[in-house]
Amino acid sequence: MIKKLCTLMAFFFCSAPINAQVDFSGLWFPASFDPNAPRLQPGTGELPFNEAAQQMHDEYVASFDSSDEPGGFCVKPGLPRSIWGAPFPVEIVQTEGFINLLWEGYFQYRKVYLEGHPRPEPILPTRMGYSVGHFEGDTLVIETSFLREYPYMRRIPNTDTATIVERWNLETITNDDGEEVKYLTNEMVLTDERLYTEPVRIAGTLRYSPDTPILEYSCSEQIYDQHLNDKGLQPPDFSTLD
């Protein structure tokens, strides 16, 4: 009888509403060095490459040095490497049907479509992939596919068959000064059977930081400046104008 009553009145007394949503909107900053941040289970340490991928890794490390890293040439890292984009802020804008994210680092953009609302079909693999999210209580679960391959073996590579599942949660913690601080945690699992013998776990935390706006980021300007220098060219100097 009690069980039946609980089932009938679950919406009011026995569980949270199925469609309950948490608003993740705002400006956030990586909380890697915040001693008050929530403690998450550590991510995967040594990547579990399969035999063929391990050989690729070893050959890559023997041939490529730090000057060959793609980030130095403005190649966007995408997911799963940009879990929260340290040391740059992230801005999140949430609506009823989707969540938009903008990273200051590399000016990366991501869209998460929320289930139950219209959304386009995926077209091409991209660095951020195609993400669809749903709420399980107060936890946002996001499933991502259509990821573009990332063959640079020093930074959690992935093939274009990889998938990612994330779990986002908000948590408020009172710091040593008695202030309530809001944190956003992300526990991410990358599955890529072409590279790894088991799923790879990655974890990251953001701290709510409304006074840390997104600034302009353009690493390509340095590359272009070097190009002009190599050709002996110099743009007009507007400071000489009246």
Indicate yes or no: pTM above 0.95.
no
Q: Kindly state the average pLDDT of the residues 182-193.
A: 98
Q: Is residue 98 part of a domain?
A: yes
Q: What is the dihedral of CA 128, 45, 69, 142, to 10 degrees?
A: 0
Q: Is 68 within the bounds of a domain? A: no
Question: What is d(CA 188, CA 204) in angstroms, rounded to the nearest whole number?
Answer: 8
pLDDT in tens, 100-145: 999 999 999 999 999 999 999 999 999 999 999 999 999 999 999 9
**Domain presence at residue 3:** no
Q: Residue 20 has what pLDDT?
A: 52
State the burial class of residue 49 (Cβ atoms within 10 Å of its Cβ: 0-12, 13-18, 19+). Answer: middle
The answer to whether residue 236 sits within a structural domain is no
Residue 136 resides in a domain? yes
CATH code where residue 146 lies: 2.40.128
Average pLDDT over every residue of 226-242: 85
SS3 assignment, position 176: coil
Q: What's residue 4's pLDDT?
A: 44
Q: What is the DSSP letter of 117?
A: S
Find the domain containing 25 and state its range.
16-33+74-225
Using one digit for the tens of pLDDT, what is the confidence trace for 34-44? 999 998 998 99
Q: Which two tokens stand for residue 190?
A: 């990358």
Residue 163 lies in a domain: yes
The better pLDDT of the pair 129, 8 is held by 129
- 3-class DSSP state of 226: helix
Q: 96, 114 in Cβ contact below 8 A? A: yes
